[in-house]
Structure 1
């Protein structure tokens, strides 16, 4: 299925959590001079215009990044992510929020000469946008291929350092199982990489199945963070969002302890909640 377009959801509350964590992970890994490999299994378009018809149709960014964009009371751990958004928009000569980076846009900000990037996207329109976005990005490789298989084909990376983001659309129920199984296979091939798996909270039983698959595997050092706008429900729609992070940077748990209460206060409501747990110890 190729109906999913992230342009409808760019900059929403789920993106805020996902991309703030990705920023902190990339900030950590680039503290060392040695190069690393960045792999994005479901890349999307790379950059999004919030004035276009897709973003305006849903307006999801208005209850996400738009509520944080110009805040002066940010916790320290959230500043690097918001700085990226501010810098991108200031380059347009405006103080308004017009551009929002997808995960490749975040990764590009941290990419150095010694690093390499591999981006997978199946949607024909988005892969063209992605190719255009990466035109002057040396050592970036874009492939219109299945990202699950693409990831496994690249492990272990030659430089023995990797950050992987897996951000499936979950159009198919099977994606919940397939994503976890693929990361378990990836871990067997390369156990020291940092792997970030995004998921939506639509049906709690599906998240529980993912947790169980991870905890019964050989994976070690797994952090889970979740932010729910409303309580779980049997009705249709996403009530929350979360991340499973394998081999998180040592300080990420502490940084998320700062970020999550702030996100709850700025993006949430009286029904909102968050959870941060070391699901599997090192």
Structure 2
């Protein structure tokens, strides 16, 4: 699967991912201490919804386009507010013409003492990213393999913050690389918040990643199961042909407010972005009673 992001910006998967990112950063800001954001697969920072790529594959119309046009209950509005403020600031007219990538979400939400470190290996995308943030002293960009960069970047000097690992899934062994990065990163920075994005395409590999990571954390690293949160959404039957039907996140060390916020957001979001029969969502800790019983046995 090739997930070059300019063709997919603003789709259902982006809305969930960026809402979670924004909620995490807003939570960090409740304390005065600075924090760092490390984005290993940064893309180009922000996306032009009038570009040729967006016109050829206008997935945003079934994603953020629907969200902006919908009537949002007050509690959903509260949860989406950090992300929606950014989107509204980027779009001065009535029509949506721009959408933030994760670098833009982070750059707009951090405070003067906070810091964002972006990695992007793709040469053209890295140049676009570098140009966008060249004058922002709080944002550093490197043309670099984000997986390999984690060894040097972790733990950050701030000792607080988040790592977003959101690969394009162009490689057949992406889940293997993702698992290796998760283990290396969490060994170096066990108190950090880690957010892993995964498509719900190869469900066997997805389950192996999720359950293997949870088992390693609980049995080898003595992590409390409550420190693991999975948030997935699918807009039609996962076995349906065609474009990506589902995606989501595994969050390690989530802010304590995140689960409650997602319990408000996800049912509404799933219904608002539904594209067919079989749409659904899940919010859980991955660790099941059966898994726990097998460890105890």
TM bracket, shorter-chain basis: over 0.9
Shift of 1:236: 6.0
Taking the aligned partners of 1:178 and 1:143, their CA distance within structure 2 comes to 20
Match of 1:174 in 2: 173
Deviates more, 1:268-277 or 1:67-76: 67-76
d(CA) in 1 for partners of 2:247, 2:240: 16
Look up the SS of the partner of 1:216 in the other structure.
helix
Q: Which residue of 1 aligns with 2:90?
A: 88
Report how far residue 280 of structure 1 moved: 4.6
Closer/same/farther in 2, CA of residues 31 and 53 from structure 1, 3 Å limit: same
Q: Which runs of 5+ in 1 are unaligned?
A: none
Counterpart of 2:40 in structure 1 is 41
Kindly indicate whether residue 286 of structure 2 is the aligned counterpart of residue 279 of structure 1: yes
SS in 1 for 2:118: strand
**Aligned with 1:217: secondary structure?**
helix
Q: Deviations over 1:220-275 (max 9, x none)?
A: 31100100122232856422001000000001111000111111111014420000
Match of 2:293 in 1: none
- Would you say the 8 A contact 1:223–1:276 is kept in 2? yes
2:87 alignment partner, SS class? helix
Paired with 2:118 and 2:208, the residues of 1 have a C-alpha distance of 28
- Look up the match of 1:262: 268
Q: Answer whether contact 1:120 1:147 (CA < 8 A) is retained.
A: yes
SS in 1 for 2:216: coil
Alignment match, 1:186:
185
Contact 2:3 2:170 in 1 (8 A): yes
Contact 2:3 2:169 in 1 (8 A): no
Point out 4+ residue stretches in structure 1 off by more than 3 angstroms. Answer: 234-237
Question: RMSD across aligned C-alpha pairs, in angstroms?
Answer: 1.8
TM-score by structure 2 length? 0.89
Query: Secondary structure of the equivalent of 1:225?
Result: strand
Give the structure 1 partner of residue 80 of structure 2. 78
Aligned to 2:34, the other structure's residue is in SS state: coil
Aligned to 2:209: 210
Bigger mean CA deviation after superposition, 226-235 or 255-264 = 226-235
Distance 1:31 1:42, change over 3 A: same
Distance 1:253 1:241 in 2: 17
Alpha-carbon contact 1:69-1:86 (below 8 Å) kept: no
Aligned pairs for 1:35-74 within 5 A: 35-74=34-73
Aligned residues: 277
**Structure 1 length-normalised TM:** 0.93
Residue 228 of structure 2 is aligned to residue 226 of structure 1: no
Deviation sequence 1:42-77 (CA, Å, 0-9, x none): 000001110000011011001000011244424121
Deviation of 1:114 after TM superposition, in Å, equals: 1.1
Higher helix share: 2
